[in-house]
C-alpha cells in the first residue's frame, strides 16, 4: 500500500514537472504599459519561433525615413489557436499593429493586435496585461 502511494506521488510530481511554465518573464520587466504604440507599415518578416514569435514591419516616417519595427507576439501555438496561419501576414502586406513600447527604447514593442487589410483584427497571443 505504501509503495503504491509513493509511486502515485512520484508520478504526479513527474507529470507536473513536464507541464510548461505559464510565463517565463513579466511583461512589465521589458515593456511599458504607459507607452502604447500604433504603427502602419508593410510586413517584412514573421518569425514563428518559441518562446515568442516576432513580427517585423517597415514603417515610413513622416520625413520619408523607413524604420523596421519588431513586435513580440505569443508562441506559435498560441497564434495558431487565435486564427493565425503561416501565410496570414506575408511579406509586403500592409498592416496596422498596436502594442506597447519596450522600456529600453528603439523600434521594439510587445504586439497587442494586428489589423489586416479589410479590417480583420488578430490578437497577438502575447503577454501584455490588458487582455
Q: Which domains does the chain have, with CATH numbers?
A: 27-123 (2.40.50.140)
Task: Specify the range with the lowest mean pLDDT, choosing from 21-30, 33-42, 63-72, 114-123.
Answer: 21-30
- pLDDT over 50 (residue 23): no
Tell me: pLDDT of 107 over 70.
yes
Indicate the range of 10-14, 19-23, 62-66, 68-72 predicted with least confidence.
19-23
Question: Residues of the chain with pLDDT > 70: what percent?
Answer: 75
Task: Compute the distance between CA of residue 131 and CA of residue 124 in angstroms, rounded to an integer.
Answer: 10
CB of 110 within 8 A of CB of 72?
Answer: yes
Q: What is the pTM of this model?
A: 0.76
The pLDDT > 90 percentage for the chain reads 66
Q: CB under 8 Å to 86, separation ≥6 — which residues? A: 46, 48
Amino acid at each position: 500500500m505504501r509503495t503504491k502511494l509513493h509511486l502515485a506521488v512520484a508520478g504526479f510530481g513527474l507529470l507536473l514537472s513536464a507541464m510548461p511554465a505559464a510565463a517565463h518573464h513579466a511583461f512589465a520587466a521589458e515593456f511599458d504599459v504607459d507607452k502604447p504604440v500604433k504603427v502602419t507599415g508593410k510586413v517584412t518578416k514573421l518569425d514563428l519561433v518559441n518562446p515568442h514569435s516576432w513580427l517585423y514591419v517597415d514603417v515610413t516616417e513622416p520625413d520619408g525615413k523607413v524604420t523596421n519595427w519588431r513586435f513580440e507576439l505569443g508562441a506559435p501555438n498560441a497564434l495558431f489557436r487565435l486564427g493565425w496561419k503561416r501565410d496570414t501576414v506575408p511579406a509586403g502586406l500592409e498592416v496596422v499593429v498596436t502594442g506597447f513600447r519596450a522600456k529600453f527604447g528603439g523600434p521594439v514593442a510587445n504586439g497587442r493586435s494586428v489589423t489586416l487589410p479589410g479590417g480583420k483584427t488578430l490578437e497577438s497571443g502575447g503577454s501584455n496585461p490588458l487582455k
